[in-house]
């Protein structure tokens, strides 16, 4: 297994408007149905889709999202490769049951640009450095020997991320290879994210 996770700690409700080794603010783009668009990040960054919606515009011939529009989640049908800085997206006209079977007018895309490396090596963390807690506000978490496969270990590797009460954590799983485990009691490799309330297994 190999993994790379991008880490972003942000003040609740605040978005940074600059790239400079940080996740970008959430950018938005609308594209008319039956047409295509391209979204692109700077070199050294990859695209992460935050939200994607098919929308029915309230204004005739409009392709711009407004809060009054009827929208339907399109995140399962619209994807971008997580290791690319550029992504082409086609907005297909669809009949939306969520919007009284009206046809979509546009596709609304919200995305972020996430850095693949950090200028400061103190903000890059190896997953098996258990004696080192993650305390920086931006960073990258790698598996050992990335991008080579994760070495066989006797136990699990983990890192602890510590944040103040006035901040929230955002984790992006950028590159993940899951293979068969050599350990008989564990059928697959996995990444486990645990907070105080929920557990996420990938």
106 and 31 inside one domain = yes
Query: Do 27 and 105 lie in a common domain?
Result: yes
Residue 12 lies in a domain: no
Which residue's entry shows tokens 């800085």?
85
Angle 79-80-85 from CA coordinates, rounded to 5°: 165
Domain end marker among 54, 89, 115: 115
Residue 16, in any domain of the structure:
no
* Residue 13 domain flag: no
Is residue 17 situated within a structural domain?
no
Q: How does pLDDT run across 33-61, given as a tens digit for each residue?
A: 999 999 999 888 888 888 999 999 998 88
Q: Where are the beta strands (DSSP E) in 57-105?
A: 70-73, 86-91, 95-96, 102-103
Q: Looking at residue 122, what is its pLDDT?
A: 80
How confident is the model over 100-125, as a mean pLDDT? Answer: 88
Beta bridge partners of 35: 91
Model pTM above 0.75: no
Place 9 in a pLDDT band, splitting at 50, 70 and 90.
very low
Rounded distance between C-alpha atoms, residue 36 and residue 52, angstroms: 14
The total domain count for the chain is 2
Domain enclosing residue 34, as ranges: 22-115
- Which tens digit of pLDDT belongs to each residue from 128-178? 766 667 777 778 877 776 666 666 665 667 777 877 777 777 777 776 666
Residue 36 confidence (pLDDT) = 95
Same domain flag for 94 and 158: no
């Amino acid at each position: 297994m190999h993994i790379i996770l991008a880490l972003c700690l942000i003040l609740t409700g605040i978005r940074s408007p600059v790239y400079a080794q940080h996740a970008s603010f959430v950018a938005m783009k609308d594209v008319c149905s039956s047409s295509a668009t391209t979204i692109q990040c700077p070199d050294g960054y990859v695209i992460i889709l935050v939200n994607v919606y098919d929308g029915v515009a309230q204004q005739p011939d409009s392709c711009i999202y407004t809060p009054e529009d009827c929208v339907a989640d399109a995140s399962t049908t619209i994807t971008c490769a997580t290791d690319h800085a550029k992504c082409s997206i086609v907005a297909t006209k669809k009949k939306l049951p969520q919007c009284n079977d009206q046809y979509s007018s546009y596709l609304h895309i919200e995305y972020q640009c996430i850095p693949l490396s950090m200028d400061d090596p103190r903000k890059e963390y190896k997953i098996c450095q258990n004696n080192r807690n993650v305390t920086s506000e931006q960073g990258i978490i790698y598996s050992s020997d990335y991008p080579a496969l994760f070495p066989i270990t006797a136990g699990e590797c983990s890192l602890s991320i510590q944040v103040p009460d006035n901040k929230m954590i955002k984790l992006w799983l950028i590159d993940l290879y899951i293979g068969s485990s050599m350990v008989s009691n564990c059928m697959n490799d996995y990444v486990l994210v645990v907070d105080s309330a929920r557990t996420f297994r990938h």
